[in-house]
Amino acid sequence: MQHSAKHLKRVTAVGAVALAAFSLSPSVASALPTDNPGGHRAAPDATVVGGSRAQQGAFPFMVRLSMGCGGSMLSDDIVLTAAHCVDGSGPDTSITATGGVVDLEDPDAVTATSTEVVQAPGYDGTGKDWALIKLDRPLDQPTLATAQDDSYDKGDFTIAGWGADQEGGAQQRYLLTAQVPFVDDATCKSAYSGLVEDEELCAGKMDTGGVDTCQGDSGGPMFRKDDAGEWIQVGIVSWGEGCARPGKPGVYTEVSTFAADIEAAAAQLG
């Protein structure tokens, strides 16, 4: 089942958007322009809804991707992002990854160019929303461990991004961050009949809304601390209805479901 028009991926077309206009927005699945690769409508500039500005160095594994998505460093030269952010698998030198800063205009920002992309095998717009981007050189920044099982798929999660800070808003220059609570599958299913329960994870404030990822946050990580106090990625910003609406949580790729596939694909990239 394909997501309906109102249940949209949280990508934003940024090719023509000035760097200073970048921002995060609450729910990754907001409306996007129709000229976006992969048939997902791209949204206006936007960042994490209900968030606050992240401190420099707080989330050093975060990267901004030039097609209008977020991502996390899986290794020093491989970015983990969403399948709907890329246009299939194979050689690709069109993507620029920016990291090392919370301010996208900071002169200390580091960049690298893509060389190859792996989109989740079998991805058809529903579920399996993960992809890897191989870079032409390592970025000198920490990586983010991925959850290997569902032990950490509950509780409160941290989200971050340069997407819109309100539904239909503009992309942000500064990295925004917020916390969202876990929403169980049964409750999320009542909001979205198309939820792929074995592959997707929901989070957000069901009663009040107000905090979420949004356009431009697609592909970014949802993460929390593990038992050792280290950050671990449990989700990838995927889709939702609008941004931060009551009763409409954000939907994230459940990383633990695809941990083995992601590891295997990364090994093939070298």
Please indicate whether residue 108 is annotated as part of the active site: no
- First CA to last CA across the chain, in angstroms? 34
Distance (Å) of CA 96 to CA 127, 191, 252: 25, 35, 23
* Residues 47/163, Cβ–Cβ less than 8 Å: yes
Q: Which of 15, 16, 12 is nearest to 25 (CA)?
A: 12
Token duo for residue 152: 């950490």
Backbone φ and ψ for 267, nearest 5 degrees, come out as -65, -35
Distance CA(120)–CA(53), nearest Å, equals: 32
Active-site choice (84, 103, 165, 212): 84
> H or E stretch including 112?
strand 110-119
Catalytic residue check, 218:
yes
Task: Give dist(CA 79, CA 96) in Å, integer.
Answer: 11
Of the residues 77, 129, 153, 217, only one is catalytic, namely 129
| Residue 247: both structure tokens together | 């009763």
CB 79 within 8 A of CB 143: no
The CA distance from 269 to 115, in Å, is 10
Tokens of 80: 């983990």
The length of the chain is: 270
Q: Go through 113-149 and write b for each residue having 16 or more CB atoms within 10 A of its CB, e for each that does not.
A: ebbbbbbbeebebebbbbbbbbbeeebebbbbbbbee
Q: Give yes or no: 84 in active site.
A: yes
Active site residues: 84, 129, 218
